[in-house]
Amino acid sequence: MNTVPVFKTYLMNNGLRPTSERMAILSEVSKKNSHFEADELYLELRKKNKSISRASVYRTLPILVDCGFLRELAFDKKRKHYEFNYGLDHHEHLVCKRCGKIIEFQSESLELELEKAIKKHGFTQETHCVEVIGYCKKCIEKDK
């Protein structure tokens, strides 16, 4: 994908510089195909001998969220979770309280209904998150 030029343009337009640290973080993050947290990413970069300070990692992630590469997730109110979300289909999450499994799902009609409700209140959406807390099929069966 064309993430690099898009990121560089974003940085330029906001008076930010395309440092090697920022570019390395973008690169690492765009390889992710699942949810992750900041410290996990920091340690991964460290292992790959791309030692970027914890501060820089924590400083860069909000930038990547702001320019639309990452989505900040809401499950687990202790730590922030992210997912790469550029050029991919938008999805929502079902979180199992028992086994912790996270199921991703898509619903066009859900998105449409949400869009309607948002417009009705004169609100301008940037992102949204729909998260369902409950129990997955397997866990329900186990508890019988």
Partner DNA sequence: TTTGTTTGTGAGATTGAGTCTCAATATCAA
Partner DNA sequence: TTGATATTGAGACTCAATCTCACAAACAAA
The residue (of 49 and 124) whose beta carbon lies closer to Zn ion is: 124
Question: Side chain identity at 4, as an amino acid letter?
Answer: V
DSSP three-state, residue 57: helix
| Residues at the site binding DNA, with contacts judged by CB under 7 A | 11, 15-22, 37-39, 51-56, 58-60, 77-80
Q: Using CB distances below 5 to 8 A depending on partner kind, what does residue 99 bind out of Zn ion, its own copies, DNA, none?
A: Zn ion
* Residue 123 lies near its own copies (rule: CB under 8 A): yes
* Residue 128 lies near Zn ion (rule: CB under 5 A): no
CB 65 within 8 A of CB 71: yes
Q: In whole angstroms, what is the distance from residue 41 CA to residue 45 CA?
A: 6
Q: In whole angstroms, what is the distance from residue 130 CA to residue 84 CA?
A: 17
Q: Least distance in Å: CB of 25 to Zn ion?
A: 19
